[in-house]
Amino acid sequence: MNVPTLESERLILRGLVETDAHEVQRLAGAFEIADTTLNIPHPYEDGLAESWIKGQQETARLGKGLAFAIVLKSENRLVGVMSLMGIETGHQAELGYWVGLPYWGSGICTEAGHLVVDYALGDLGLLRLYARHLSRNPSSGRVLKKLGFEFEGSQHAQIRKWDKLEDVELYGLISAKHIKSETITHLVALNIIQSEECDGSGEAFPHIISRLFEDGAMTFFSMCGWSKQEIVDRSLQIASSLIKSSQVCRVNHSVAVYCKLMQSQADLAILDMRLVSWPENDSIATAKFQISMLKSERQPADDLCVANTGNSNTILMRRFTARHRGQAGHINIQHFAQSADDACRSVASLLGVAPADRLLTFKEKIRFRAEMHPGDCAFVRCAVERQAHDRWLISGEMVRLHDEALVCQFQRLMELPIDEPDVGTARQSPLLDKLELTLNDIPPGEIVWGPRETYRGTVEPMEVNSDQNLSTRALWDKMTRALWSVQNALGASRDKMREEKLAAGASMFQLQFHEAARLGTPLVIRSSICGRSDSSLRMQHQVCDARDNSVRIEARYVLTFFNRKTGKRSPIPSFIAEKISDV
């Protein structure tokens, strides 16, 4: 068997030749390479590379394996090796790889992996690939996940390396030619367990776990293109389910639901689902659902495919409860903002970003269109477009389930750590053509009230995400406190607003991130009023480091007043207008 030549934008993969021995010895001889691979020795003695290359050439001749030299075009030199080992014709092979230490973190391994995987499952006609890595080398597992491999289990004390027994993680990838149904695992829901969903000890009720899985299943079908009306009309019904819990799910825990289509027949789909902690990905429960597809003329084997999830599709479903309710009885806007944040993280996950990876936001804008009430469900759908090498514009909208009313729209400019250079070509969606929202700043206007200190505190451990930066939920909580401080200063206390049968809420929000607020940072928020209309105020928060007054985050928004009973806009109340009469 001849080793083919494969090519991508940055790489050429070819067969090994004797003249590669020097680079193989130089790169593979680094201790870090030997330390994180299963079989490479250290020190890498003279003559070993030449002998190994001859062995790989003989293995290829016998059709039992293929070793590819990974050549970086810009340097015209070998930077690593990727191999198909133990080839069983028509069945399977093991994928192995290493990349030289100077090239770690550049996405080369992932880019080469796509070439080899496509060749193995396409040209060679293999049905399965598998790969192993040391349990203490999770970065190798992240590469495999980006290639579509799924975790299959751990092998304890599987190999002896340097007189020490090592655990090994096993991953597998099944060819779509073998399983016609979509086998990619998709993130279909993100949620935070609320106190009313738990018993007295803080553990989530069993029916809450079931509901999370059911919501995730419905989201999966929406991602596959099923209309909201089909779902509402009960065209999808759960025929049977089996749920197994491996650990307790507790109050305030962030959780995610992943879904995979295992089988699709004429009127029945089988979904394999798992509930995990977010972003740690520790397993909490697993479920297998049989879904009856009624009142539909679809051919599910063709339609149940979400390979184009990067286009505008439903990313997650969110069910709102009484805990999310604000002062006017409808859902507080900060929960819409949190849903937008969760949707952006879901998009990042679908693009291959690990849950714990750092996600940097530069700008965000939200426009609120309609109200939601406790008990309502909404779908969030998104489109993504690459703006620069590492900057991505995610556009989305939240749509109410029962009447498909547009609830809110959002856009976020983010930095995503994605290695592949060809991922993220324009993916703007026709579903979002009506999204008349851009990241142009809300004009600041001239400050006519304030600035006034409206919040002071420190970023606490419970308020940070995995990269130790202030989380979106905590940021919105702090800004909500600042807003209430402004309203109290204007005489619009909760009791006064209730007495006047009024409510206030943001109709548009713009965030500008200058610098991250990290764990332990002392913060002060200064708030101002910069303009007004008949029924709204233009306001501004500056989230500053209390030590040097540097602005970390700037928020501009339009605060609109509503009649509690009718929900319609109301003029700015007189007791507020008097205090800002000079605006």
Percent of the chain exceeding pLDDT 70 equals 78
pTM above 0.85, yes or no: no
Domain count, the chain: 4
Q: Is residue 159 part of a domain?
A: yes
3-state secondary structure of 338: helix
Among the candidates 174, 205, 235, a domain finishes at 174
Q: In 3-state terms, what secondary structure has residue 493? A: coil
Q: What whole-number distance in Å separates Cα of residue 103 and Cα of residue 83?
A: 18
What are the beta bridge partners of residue 541?
527, 555
On whether both 196 and 66 belong to a single domain, the answer is: no
Instruction: Please report, for the chain, how many H helices and E strands are present, in that order.
Output: 12, 23
433: CB partners within 8 A, 6+ apart:
none
In terms of domains, do 421 and 315 share one? yes
303 and 336 belong to one structural domain: no
In the 8-state DSSP scheme, what is residue 203? B
Determine the pLDDT at residue 434.
40
pLDDT of residue 97: 94
- Assess if residue 569 is contained within a domain: yes
End-to-end CA distance of the chain: 80
Query: 367 and 487 share a domain?
Result: no
- 501 and 545 within one domain: yes
Q: Which two tokens stand for residue 477?
A: 């909580």
Residue 364 lies in a domain: yes
Question: What pLDDT score was predicted for residue 430?
Answer: 37
> Do 250 and 170 share a domain, yes or no?
no
Across the range 544-552, mean pLDDT stands at 91
Q: What is the pLDDT confidence band of residue 309, given thresholds at 50, 70 and 90?
A: very low
Name every residue whose Cβ is closer than 8 Å to that of residue 236 and which is 6 or more positions away in sequence: 217, 218, 221, 226, 230, 291, 292, 293, 294
Q: Is the pLDDT of residue 310 over 70?
A: no
303's tokens: 């339609």
CA 511, CA 541: separation in Å to the nearest integer? 10
Mean pLDDT value across residues 469-488 = 83
Most confident of 194-203, 283-292, 448-457, 566-575: 448-457
- pLDDT > 80? residue 365: yes
State the Cα–Cα distance between residues 537 and 541, nearest whole angstrom.
13
Helix (H) or strand (E) holding 120: helix 108-121
Is residue 558 a contact partner of residue 366, using CB atoms and an 8 Å limit?
A: no
By mean pLDDT, which of 21-30, 99-108, 181-190, 443-452 is the weakest?
A: 181-190
Is 302 found in the same domain as 314?
A: no
Bridge partners, 203 (sequence order): 250
525/383 same-domain check = no
Residue 420 falls inside a structural domain: yes
**Contact by Cβ (8 Å): 333, 480:** no
Would 439 be classed as within a structural domain?
no
What is the Cα–Cα distance from 366 to 359, expressed in whole angstroms? 19
In a domain? residue 411: yes
Contacts with 488 (C-beta within 8 Å, 6 or more apart), sequence order: none
Q: Say how far apart CA 522 and CA 291 lie, in whole Å.
A: 51
Q: What percent of the chain has pLDDT over 90?
A: 20
Per residue, the 3-state secondary structure of 27-72, as one string, reads HHCCHHHHHHCCCCCCCCCCCHHHHHHHHHHHHHHCCCCEEEEEEE
The per-residue pLDDT for range 27-44, each reduced to its tens digit, is 999 999 988 888 888 889
Same domain flag for 249 and 270: yes
Q: Is the pLDDT of residue 234 over 50?
A: no
Shortest CA distance to 569 belongs to which of 502, 479, 476? 502
Give dist(CA 383, CA 311) in Å, integer.
Answer: 5
Q: Does residue 456 share a domain with residue 470? A: yes
Quickly state the pLDDT bin for 22 (edges 50, 70, 90): very high
Distance of CA 434 to the CA centre of its chain: 24
Question: Average pLDDT for residues 267-281, to the nearest whole number?
Answer: 75
Q: With contact defined as beta carbons under 8 Å apart, do 45 and 27 qualify? A: no
Mean pLDDT of 366-394: 78
91 inside domain:
yes
The one-letter amino acid code at 132 reads R
- Cβ contact 554:515 at 8 Å: no
3-state secondary structure 124-177: CCCCEEEEEEECCCHHHHHHHHHCCCEEEEEEEEEEEECCEEEEEEEEEEECCC
- For β-strands 92-99 and 128-134, DSSP reports them as parallel
Instruction: Calculate the average pLDDT of the chain.
Output: 78
Taking residue 550's Cβ as centre, other Cβ atoms within 10 Å add up to: 10
Q: How many Å apart are CA 556 and CA 269, to the nearest integer?
A: 47
For residues 382 and 410, state if they share a domain. yes
> Residue 141 is part of a domain; what is its CATH number?
3.40.630.30
Asked if residues 378 and 370 have their Cβ atoms less than 8 Å apart, the reply is: no
Q: How many CB atoms lie within 10 A of CB 58?
A: 11
**Res. 354: pLDDT tops 70:** no
Domain boundary among 143, 174, 205: 174
Residue with tokens 């700015």: 572
Both tokens of 451, joined, read 């600035």
94 located within any domain:
yes
Q: What is the mean pLDDT of residues 38-51?
A: 90
Q: Residue 369: exposed, middle, or buried by beta-carbon count in 10 A (0-12, 13-18, 19+)? A: middle
Q: Looking at the structure, do residues 122 and 37 belong to the same domain, yes or no?
A: yes
Distance CA 440, CA 432 (A): 18
Contact 450, 579 (CB under 8 A): no
Could you say which of 174, 195, 214 is where a domain stops?
174
Task: Identify the weakest region by mean pLDDT among 105-114, 161-170, 327-336.
Answer: 327-336
**Helix, strand, or coil here: 322?**
helix
Res 543 pLDDT > 90 = yes
Which range scores top for mean pLDDT: 9-18, 180-189, 213-222, 371-380?
Answer: 9-18
The CATH number assigned to the domain holding 231 equals: 3.10.129.10
Range of the domain at 240: 180-307
H runs (alpha helix) in 224-314: 228-232, 300-303
